[in-house]
Each structure stands twice: as structure tokens, then as C-alpha cells.
């Protein structure tokens, strides 16, 4: 098997505490990066990318905070895609596209992320760490 990597035009990683206040912080940081990378607010991917990032960080806050004090966020701009990744150190992988809870209190995050990625021809992948003690949710959004 041959693995080829697409060269990135820009790449930024940062870590935030796995707390609710980190969701808007991650969104602000990402917005600044997108603007710096010439993907201004009116770019078709900007709104989707920011909502996707918000949902992924929210999932880490809701489900991983107990075992993962930090969430690692990576944004990569390649010639053909914007890639968003959120990593936490909680070992449990999410159920495949869970159903929303009947009381409306949640359960839609990954379904929203998958739908937004699909809408632009991209995709969502959740992969466990090699040591089995964490996971990374990665979204690929074609440019």
C-alpha cells in the first residue's frame, strides 16, 4: 500500500481545555485562521467549517472531559481541501451517527457534522488512537 500526503498550504494545531468555554474560543481561533488563509466569512466553506468545529469540540466537552483535560484541534489547508481534526483522550468511540435524544437534549452533533461534510462532497472519520486511549474526529471538506 502506498501512502501519499497532499502538501499543505497552511497548518495550525492548538490545544484547549475540555470545558464549555473552549467551544467559542475554538470557533474564534478558527475564524481568524480562515480569514488569514483567505477563506473569508463569505467563502462557501467558512460557515460549515466553523459549525463543524463547534460540534466536534462540543462533543469532546460533553463526552471526554472526565478523562481528557485538553482537546487538540488541528486545521490544515491543502490545495484541494480544508481538514478539521479534534482529538481527545477518551477511549470510547461514538456510536455510528447516533439518533437524537427524544427529549431534544442532544445526540445530533455527529449527524450534523456528517451532513455538512456530505453536502460539500467531504466526509467524517472517527479513528481510535493506536494505544486505544483516545480518538480523533477528522472532517475533510473539498475546496
- Of 115, 121, 124, nearest in space to 143 by CA: 121
The grid coordinates of residue 7 equal: 502538501
Whole-number pLDDT of residue 3: 41
Q: Which CATH number fits domain 10-142: 3.20.20.120, 3.40.50.300, 3.30.565.10, 1.20.1250.20?
A: 3.30.565.10
Mean pLDDT in residue range 75-96: 92
> What are the distances in angstroms from CA 106 to CA 12, 65, 124?
29, 17, 19
Whole-number pLDDT of residue 41: 66
The model's pLDDT over 11-70, given as tens digits with 9 standing for 90+, comes to 999 999 999 999 999 999 999 999 888 776 677 788 899 999 999 999 999 999 999 999
Please, which pLDDT band fits residue 71 given cuts at 50, 70 and 90?
very high
Half-sphere exposure in the Cβ direction for 46 (13 Å, CA): 16
Domain boundaries, the chain: 10-142
Amino acid at each position: 500500500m502506498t501512502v501519499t500526503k497532499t502538501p499543505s498550504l497552511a497548518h495550525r494545531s492548538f490545544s484547549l481545555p475540555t470545558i464549555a468555554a473552549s467551544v467559542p474560543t475554538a470557533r474564534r481561533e478558527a475564524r481568524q485562521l480562515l480569514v488569514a488563509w483567505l477563506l473569508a466569512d463569505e467563502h462557501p466553506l467558512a460557515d460549515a467549517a466553523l459549525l463543524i468545529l463547534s460540534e466536534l469540540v462540543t462533543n469532546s466537552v460533553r463526552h471526554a472531559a472526565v478523562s481528557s483535560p485538553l482537546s487538540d484541534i488541528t486545521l490544515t489547508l491543502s490545495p484541494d481541501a480544508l481538514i478539521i481534526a479534534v482529538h481527545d483522550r477518551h477511549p470510547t468511540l461514538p456510536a455510528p451517527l447516533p439518533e437524537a435524544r427524544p427529549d431534544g437534549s442532544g445526540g445530533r452533533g455527529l449527524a450534523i457534522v456528517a451532513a455538512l461534510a456530505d453536502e460539500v462532497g467531504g466526509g467524517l472519520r472517527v479513528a481510535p488512537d493506536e494505544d486505544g486511549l483516545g480518538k480523533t474526529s477528522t472532517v475533510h471538506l473539498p475546496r
